[in-house]
Structure 1
């Protein structure tokens, strides 16, 4: 929530507007990757918000673990949840339109047909939260700071994209891009960078790379309020926010304050919700959802339990291998370990049947590879097979699917298949039932986990692996240890729960997620995937010039990523499972790509007064 903006900024997606063009230069209120923008230049509000939503009240939720920093852009320390809420970017996307970004801090942007540069004409009424004006110098400073001090994987990619940045006037800035780098997404990528106050940063001797409890100064609608380090953090709506009447903001940012309460244990957090310590819960535990909401307030209607439609693609949640470890460099070993996770049994026994299996990096979208490759996919994959960068069977085999298991915890058929794979890979069962290689090394697989609620998922998996002869174990660590062991330079883990990330219209962020160049420094490519074939396919996706081209290229990339078997995919659901005290309202129809409880929901003062009068709320 606080550190993934890099991937979002790198994938915040560019495009063409139906605005006017002069001398081959488009001047528009936004940009869209392919086709036209949905919203005209004179739109008054986003179509999915309630423009008359009242302002007031508090939204409160819970967060896991703790925090010791208010800097969301550093790998040092653990940043507080929502600590990037104070920062805005020049362009902003919407929750109902893929591949579009509209002017927020700008009035218009200009770009040529080849998108080799972009000019942002900034608004002259934008102020930072201390009332000082934002200028093009702040935008330039922010770019230069993220280029020199941002996350290593991000700045590595950024350095290959931008030739130069020029301040053309107090409220005008131009980004020119390097020849040879696909420019389709670059105008919006630059428009997606957070804007920080240069004066505040320098006056307070701040450092983007360092953990700090002094937040940077931004232009956003919310500012820090109360910070109780490691325990709770709240943000208050700035009454002097410059953008209250901006069409992108009408009906949004409706709460006077947003509060996060931290808990070190999932069960304790649930009890905190029942006690009224916070008001909104996005339930991630299937057992809690199925059995935990039997307390009186739910039955009486004071707490709403709801399943709301979620149109997003799956988040790619998975057990992720550390490919830097020699034992995992053989794909047969990874496939064998994957065979021993029984999703079907887990879903029926542990999850109450509410999940579907993830198979694709782009699961639950039109971009997922299916069956054997189409002729168009083959045209992309064939040259890479000919060069030895991809295996030949990728041209003929069906896309790799997660294995299917039976209704018993240990699937005997998968056990036999996994055993054969490990024997082929040189891991032989000894008299003690443990597998060893030719060096006499045992096959140890350690699951590193910092979430107590996940023990019930991992422990049966560990038991299955032990039956296979693997020395499998679950190691519980705290949040700080988890961060330390899963980041550069240590990467000290075998298997963790992570995400195979993706976007609907993917661009240079793929280099951060799966590229060889950033594999040993990335906070996203935690598995350390290095594949020249994948690198080439990423370039094809980035260079796609139409939605059809992008779809085919993404399917080819998805097919190749799944063939790498760097993950054991887990599960997803197409519903938001939420519970909240009956003091909040939301638009009748939610947009397909966001729940929006922090964004366009609102506080109902009359309902809150009724709950307070009943004694339920303090």
Structure 2
């Protein structure tokens, strides 16, 4: 069972869906889309995305679920617990396509242009773009949206968009973002598809940084029709949605009503699904996938259980070391600890052989690390020799495994040898730093009690190391 998580890969080449060798700003023209690398798949005035079904049934109600609670309908601030479904209210300047690595096409913006040095990006706002109250979306709203998020939004945005120097309204329907520092080829796309556009007028007299249960004004396809804080949220289709006929929206937003019920944990949510409380569940637990879907409605054909092949980068689950801790600052020590994780045993006994070991940041894609560096890659890497691990030049990364006989015992011996080389010895049955006397101990934080069964076998193996 593939774990369905979406990542935004970072590439190192940038093109703007056209070929134009002129570098002067006046020679640049607005284009219908922008690609991180290569050419755009879809030409100007394309009718729809290839994967979209323009004949999809429209209407009806879909019941969904969320885990946790909420007390805030503004998902872009630090305070409170947000209802992320409020994102249906807002739109961005561009829309990403799902059958290209990283390409975008006009949504609120009908056009986009950037210079070859990527020092700025400009967007041309559609004249027909409207907020749900009928007011026009303007460059002033775009500028306001950026400034309010940077000044009162979640602190993450200050880092994320820190290279934006300023935003200017350059005409009644054009807005321009100027960048600073080293060129960042991804930044024009990040601005295009991740900056939510708010109504400046709607936020006048309101504090953006405070939580709210009053639905903010957006330009998106849905409106919030009912809110029960922490319990449920209902969205109704905006019958006057301005963008319903855009090529990037054909085949989307088909349900008349979208309802979310909130549950405190996955166990309760699963039982609610079995009772018919909601209509669709994406399952990420291999145990549940193997054992939990054998109830009556499945046997009667009322619930369809299906494994869908996933074609995008697969993401990952794993343990992240807090390198602010002194014991984790040594790379070889971190490497030694990986030998204590017996993936093969866990996959057989805990994961029902449903998992595949992650070997790259971009597994399940053509960008995954699969072989030694090519000659062209070596030309780039050579300048960093001595600053990056030497084995990168000579061997393909393969995580420790226990497939051979006594595999775990051999791995723990390797781990102990590495730890000893780095100054950690066994003293009174406890792993101790030979020079400082520091005891090797740490805690593992879990996002859910469900992960305890995964961690406990590793804990037993770590105990054998002291």
**TM-score, length-scaled by structure 2:** 0.90
Provide the alpha-carbon RMSD of the alignment: 2.7
State whether residues 342 and 401 of structure 2, in contact with CA within 8 Å, keep that contact through their aligned partners in structure 1.
Answer: yes
SS at match of 2:378: helix
| Residue 388 (structure 2) aligned to one of 381, 387, 390 | 390
- Which aligned pairs between 1:373-388 and structure 2 lie closer than 5 A? 373-385=373-385, 388=386
Partner of 2:409: 412
Partner of 1:98: 101
1:247 is displaced (CA, Å) by: 1.4
Distance 1:104 1:324, change over 3 A: same
The alignment status of 1:450 with 2:447, answered yes or no, reads yes
Partner of 2:207: 205
State whether residues 139 and 195 of structure 1, in contact with CA within 8 Å, keep that contact through their aligned partners in structure 2.
Answer: yes
| Residue 76 (structure 1) aligned to one of 72, 79, 95 | 79
Deviations 1:27-58 (A, max 9, x none): 32112233332222222222111112222222
Unaligned runs of 5+ in 1: 470-618
Separation of aligned partners in 1, 2:333 and 2:352: 30
- Which aligned pairs between 1:147-158 and structure 2 lie closer than 5 A? 147-158=150-161
The alignment status of 1:33 with 2:36, answered yes or no, reads yes
1:62 is displaced (CA, Å) by: 2.5
1:371 is displaced (CA, Å) by: 3.5
Aligned length: 456
Separation of aligned partners in 1, 2:310 and 2:363: 13
Partner of 1:261: 261
| Residue 176 (structure 2) aligned to one of 164, 174, 177 | 174
1:177 is displaced (CA, Å) by: 3.1
Partner of 2:420: 423
Partner of 2:123: 120
Deviations 1:50-77 (A, max 9, x none): 1122222222232222233222223333
Separation of aligned partners in 2, 1:324 and 1:80: 32
More strand by share: 1
| Residue 431 (structure 2) aligned to one of 430, 435, 439 | 435
SS at match of 2:261: strand
1:340 is displaced (CA, Å) by: 0.9
State whether residues 90 and 104 of structure 1, in contact with CA within 8 Å, keep that contact through their aligned partners in structure 2.
Answer: yes
State whether residues 64 and 264 of structure 1, in contact with CA within 8 Å, keep that contact through their aligned partners in structure 2.
Answer: yes
Partner of 2:185: 184
Separation of aligned partners in 2, 1:91 and 1:15: 16
1:352 is displaced (CA, Å) by: 1.1
State whether residues 88 and 194 of structure 1, in contact with CA within 8 Å, keep that contact through their aligned partners in structure 2.
Answer: yes
Separation of aligned partners in 2, 1:211 and 1:405: 50
Distance 1:174 1:450, change over 3 A: closer
1:139 is displaced (CA, Å) by: 0.4
Separation of aligned partners in 1, 2:166 and 2:292: 56
Separation of aligned partners in 1, 2:380 and 2:17: 29
Deviations 1:448-505 (A, max 9, x none): 1131222211121112212222xxxxxxxxxxxxxxxxxxxxxxxxxxxxxxxxxxxx
Distance 1:183 1:290, change over 3 A: closer
1:315 is displaced (CA, Å) by: 0.8
Partner of 1:353: 353
Distance 1:19 1:330, change over 3 A: closer
1:280 is displaced (CA, Å) by: 0.4
Distance 1:189 1:426, change over 3 A: same
Separation of aligned partners in 2, 1:415 and 1:212: 53
* Stretch moving more, 184-193 or 133-142: 184-193
Distance 1:409 1:305, change over 3 A: farther
1:275 is displaced (CA, Å) by: 0.3
Separation of aligned partners in 2, 1:285 and 1:157: 31
* Stretch moving more, 101-110 or 213-222: 213-222
State whether residues 410 and 464 of structure 1, in contact with CA within 8 Å, keep that contact through their aligned partners in structure 2.
Answer: no
Separation of aligned partners in 1, 2:275 and 2:177: 52
